[in-house]
Structures are given as structure tokens and as C-alpha cells.
Amino acid sequence: MPGWLEIGGGLILAGAVAQTAISLIGNARGRLNRSRRDAADAEFFRRRAALMLRAAEVERDKQLLSWTGLRKFTVTLKEEEAKDVVSFYLEPHDRKPLPPFDPGQFLTFQLRIPDQPKPVIRCYSLSETPLEREYYRVTIKRLDPPPNEPSAPRGVSSNFFHEALAVGDTVDVRAPGGVFTLDMTSERPVALIAGGVGITPLLSMVNTIAASGDDRETWLFYGVLGGSGHAMRAHFADLARDHPNIHIVTFYSDPEPDDRLGEHYDYEGRCRVEIVREVLGVQNYDFYICGPPPMIATVIADLEEWGVPGERIHSEAFSAKTIQSAPLPAAAKAAGEAAAIEVCFDRSGKTVDWRPDAGALLDLAEAHGVRLDFGCRSGSCGTCLTAIKSGEVDYLHRPGSPPEAGSCLACIAVPSGPLVLDA
Ligand SMILES: Cc1cc2nc3c(=O)[nH]c(=O)nc-3n(C[C@H](O)[C@H](O)[C@H](O)COP(=O)(O)OP(=O)(O)OC[C@H]3O[C@@H](n4cnc5c(N)ncnc54)[C@H](O)[C@@H]3O)c2cc1C
Ligand code: FES
């Protein structure tokens, strides 16, 4: 029988052995955790480096391959995507390589259309990923007169594309432009919100995320009237099936008899933030919105009410007012708040007051019946270039290509003091 002394000694020895074992296990765990952390850090830096390198290559190719002025493109394919929505595949007539673009950018077309007194300028978003370097693709909805004005003329450019332009025809195109673009170096999750044909720039974004193997969480909320207007239904189903990080949520506001909830679409009614909130749960996403101006205004207001910071909300409207994606420059805001700034449209013989809520000079001109040509309304196509007779302007955001000295891009310019324009 062991005495108390032996038992006590045995316990002390066992305790020491256990303590050593615990400390060894602890050290080993610590080393394992450290090496896991090191591996995660290394992977993070490897991914960042790969993203930055890819972005630098894209910039280099843009510089090398972009063009100024107009370039001829041949229509190589027309593909119906939905009722009144057709994709046009375009290849450069000179067969030289195409520059890449940022997902979300658009092309500006200068069209010679019979019966039109002068060339018609229109912008169409690039709807395919820039990783596709053989062709550009635009997807265009044909516009009828508004229901309340059935005798008004049909959309000039969209009907020309759909009805007159055939495979083999050529069109004149300016290089890709636009600032409504997906940041390919970011790893923040994205929520894309589209109304109708506003799907096109978001389609380029989601296709690029899929094609580049980008695994950031991506949700596309897409609202249409009903099944016949649901463009690329099969393509979106494939994307969601093949990419676990990509999720598509579809809304039909006016379902047709054959449309089945849960099979063809997920929610009845308009695409709305109430559902976006329910689905996402948290708002740490970058939001990209494109569609008709009233839809954009509602979605932005609801996102802001939810608490999404303005810098994470990006939007592009296909028409109407200039998109104010940036705050007013401080000088213009201060000057405009202190007192209205006088803007003279010299050739039209009109002098009017500008205040910050009047928007860009193009919006101010239209509000006072002064006609200025425009294309993109976002500072990229150069159509609204207007000569300055005296005074200075600021810009709502950096122009796609800087205007000539002594002139301004009226769609994104605001006066920084009294201004006289040759308009
Ligand atoms: C950056 C950007 C990207 C864009 N991307 C796309 C895209 O990817 N896909 C796309 O389909 N569109 C896109 N658009 C819109 C496109 O540029 C055109 O505005 C659109 O195709 C309409 O042009 P249109 O010449 O066919 O119509 P317009 O001739 O400009 O007419 C517009 C509407 O007004 C009606 N109308 C004409 N005259 C009158 C009148 N006197 N009284 C009442 N109504 C009248 C027409 O019937 C038509 O419904 C984009 C626009 C921008 C700014
Ligand atoms: S309308 Fe295109 S730059 Fe102003």
C-alpha cells in the first residue's frame, strides 16, 4: 500500500506532467493559429496584388488601344433578348484590337438616320463583360410613343437600330465612357438593382464578376413588367446555378397569364428596397442602381432611410435629368447659397439665376427653354460642349475627357461665379 507521501509525490508528478502537456499543446495551438493567420494574410495580399495587377493591365490596354473621335463598327449579330429588346454585336471595321472598358460604361453612337436633319447622338451601355475582347455588345429597347401621347413620334434611334440596321451594316461609335462603373479592385459585396432595360450596365457587372472568378457576394434585383419583357432569363438562371456567390431576385409588376410565381419570378410588384432589406439583412454592400429616373429616386431615398451611406450608392439614369452622383463643388455651393449666380445664355438672349438645386448648366438651360445638344448627360460623350464667353465653371465630377480650353461640358458643369455662355 503506498503511503500518503508516495501518493502526494505521484499527484505532484502527474500535475507537472499535465501542466507541461497543456503548455506544449497550447504552444502548438498558438503556432497552428499563427501559421493559419499567416496563410490567411498571405492569401489576402496575393489576391490584392492580383487585383491591382489586373487593374493596371486594363488601364495600360485602355491607354494603348482607345481612340478619339468616331470609329466604324460592323453589326455582326442581332439577337432578340425579350419583347422589343435586341442585342447588337459590334466588331471594329478596321479589325484592330478593342480597348477594355470598365463594367457599367457605355458607347456613344453618332447615327445618320434618313429624315433626320442632323446626326442623332445616343448612348448605349455595354452589356457584356470587358473580358470579352473580340466584340462589343449593346442591348437596346425599342421605344413606342408614351401611352398618353399615342400620336407622338416613335423613338428615333431605338427604332432605327431595331428596324433599319442589319447584320453587315456599319455605325459610327465613340470610345467607351462613363463613370457608373464597378470597382474591380474592391472586395465589398455588391447589390445591383435594375428596372427594365436599366439591366444592361448591371448585366456587364454581374457577367464580369462571374467571368473573372470574383467570389464577392453579389445580388441582382431585377424588376420588369412581366415574362415577355424578362431579358436573358436563361442566362441569369445559369449564372445563379454555376456561381454560389451570385443570387438573382426577380420582380414582375404586371405578370402575364403564363407567368408563375416562384418559377419565373420571385416577387410580385415593383423592385423595392423593402424586399432588398429583407433579403440582404445588412446594408454593408455597394449598391448600383439603373432604371427609369423615378425608380432610381425612390430606391435611393429608401436606401438612405435604411442608413446606407451616400458614397456606397451609385446610380445611372438613361434619360431626363443629369445624374448628380457627386456633391456640388464647395465653391459653387457656397456662392450659390450666398446669392443666386447669374448665368447668361448669350445667343438665346436669356439671363437666369442659378442656385444649387438647379443642377448642371444643361438642366438650367432646359428649364428655361434654351436648347443644348446632349448625349450621355454624364460628361463622357462631348456632345454638350459649350463655349464660355466669360466666367468659370466647376464640375460635379471629373469629365471623361477634359473639354477644350474656353468651353465646358454643360451636362456636368455648374457656375463658380457669373457666367456667359455661347448658347
Ligand atoms: C448613359 C446612358 C446609357 C444608356 N444605355 C441604354 C441601354 O443600354 N439600352 C437602351 O435601350 N437605352 C439606353 N439608354 C437610352 C438611350 O440612349 C436612348 O435615350 C433611348 O434608346 C431612346 O432613344 P430614341 O432615339 O429611341 O428615342 P427618342 O427619339 O429620344 O424619344 C424618346 C421617347 O420620347 C417619345 N417622343 C418623341 N417625340 C415626342 C414628342 N414630340 N412628344 C412626346 N413624346 C415624344 C418617343 O416615342 C420615345 O418614347 C442609355 C442612355 C444613357 C444616357
Ligand atoms: S452630354 Fe455627354 S458630355 Fe455632356
pLDDT tens, position by position, 282-294: 999 999 999 888 8
382 CA: nearest ligand 2 atom: 3
CB 387 within 8 A of CB 381: no
* pLDDT of 356 higher than 80: yes
Instruction: Give the list of residues 6+ apart from residue 344 with CB closer than 8 angstroms, or none.
Output: 350, 351, 419, 420, 421
Residue 327: the pLDDT is 58
C-alpha to C-alpha distance for 261 and 96, rounded to whole angstroms: 47
pLDDT band at 320 (very low <50, low <70, confident <90, very high): very low
Ligand 2 atom at shortest distance from the alpha carbon of 410: 4
Ligand 2 atom, smallest distance to 362 CA: 4
What does the pLDDT average to over 107-133? 93
Q: Which residues line ligand 2 (CB under 6 A)?
A: 374-377, 379-384, 409, 411
Provide the pLDDT confidence category of residue 329 given band limits of 50, 70 and 90: low
The residue contributing the CA closest to ligand 1 atom 10 is 140
Closest CA to 253 of 264, 263, 267: 267
pLDDT of residue 364: 95
143 CA distance to ligand 1 middle (Å):
7
Atom index in ligand 2 nearest the CA of residue 380 equals: 3
Residue 157 has pLDDT above 90, yes or no: yes
Distance 155 CA to ligand 1 centre (A): 6
CA-nearest residue for atom 18, ligand 1, is 122
Q: Name the residue at shortest CA distance from atom 13 of ligand 1.
A: 124
Ligand 1 atom closest to 122 (CA) = 17
> Whose C-alpha lies nearest to ligand 2, atom 3?
379
- Please name which ligand lies nearest the alpha carbon of 397: 2
Q: What is the pLDDT of residue 378?
A: 79
Average pLDDT over every residue of 246-261:
98
Mean pLDDT (the chain, rounded): 89
- Residue 2 is predicted with a pLDDT of 53
Q: Is the pLDDT of residue 214 over 60?
A: yes
C-beta of 322 in contact with ligand 1 (< 6 A): no
Task: Give distance in angstroms: CA of 376 to centre of ligand 2.
Answer: 5
- The per-residue pLDDT for 258 is 96
Q: Could you tell me which residue, 32 or 194, shows the higher pLDDT?
A: 194
Residues of the chain with pLDDT > 90, as a percent, come to 66
Q: Model pTM greater than 0.85?
A: no
Position 14 confidence tier, pLDDT thresholds 50, 70, 90: low
- Segment 235-252 shows an average pLDDT of 98
Quick one: average pLDDT of 247-268? Answer: 97
Q: What's the CA gap between 158 and 143, in Å, rounded?
A: 6
Q: Of 414 and 396, which is predicted with more confidence?
A: 414
Beta-carbon contacts of residue 65 (< 8 Å; ≥ 6 apart): 96, 97, 98, 99, 100
Pick the ligand that lies closest to the CA of residue 409: 2
More confident residue, 258 or 16: 258
Q: Is the CB of 320 under 6 A from ligand 1?
A: no
pLDDT of 339 > 70? The answer is: yes
Model confidence band, residue 105 (pLDDT cutoffs 50, 70, 90): very high
Q: Which ligand is nearest to the CA of 362?
A: 2
Per-residue confidence at 323, pLDDT binned at 50, 70, 90? very low
315: left (phi over 0), alpha (psi -120 to 50) or beta: beta
Reply yes or no on whether the pLDDT at 6 is more than 80.
no
**Model confidence at 321: pLDDT above 60:** no
Q: Decide if pLDDT at 11 tops 80.
A: no
Q: How far is the CA of 147 from the centre of ligand 1 (A)?
A: 15
Inform me whether the pLDDT recorded for 109 exceeds 80.
yes
**Above 50 in pLDDT, residue 377?**
yes
Winning range, highest mean pLDDT, from 180-184, 244-248, 376-380: 244-248
Q: What is the pLDDT of residue 328?
A: 63
For residue 219, give the C-alpha cell: 445580388
pLDDT at 336: 59
> For residue 163, which ligand has an atom nearest its CA?
1
Q: If you measure from the C-alpha of residue 381 to the centroid of ligand 2, how many angstroms do you get, rounded to a whole number?
A: 5
Regarding the beta carbon of 152 and ligand 1, being less than 6 Å apart is answered yes
Q: Which of 396, 411, 414 to mutate to test the pocket of ligand 2 (most atoms within 8 A of CB)?
A: 411
**CA 396 / ligand 2 centre spacing (Å):** 13
- Report whether residue 153 contacts ligand 1, using a CB cutoff of 6 Å: yes
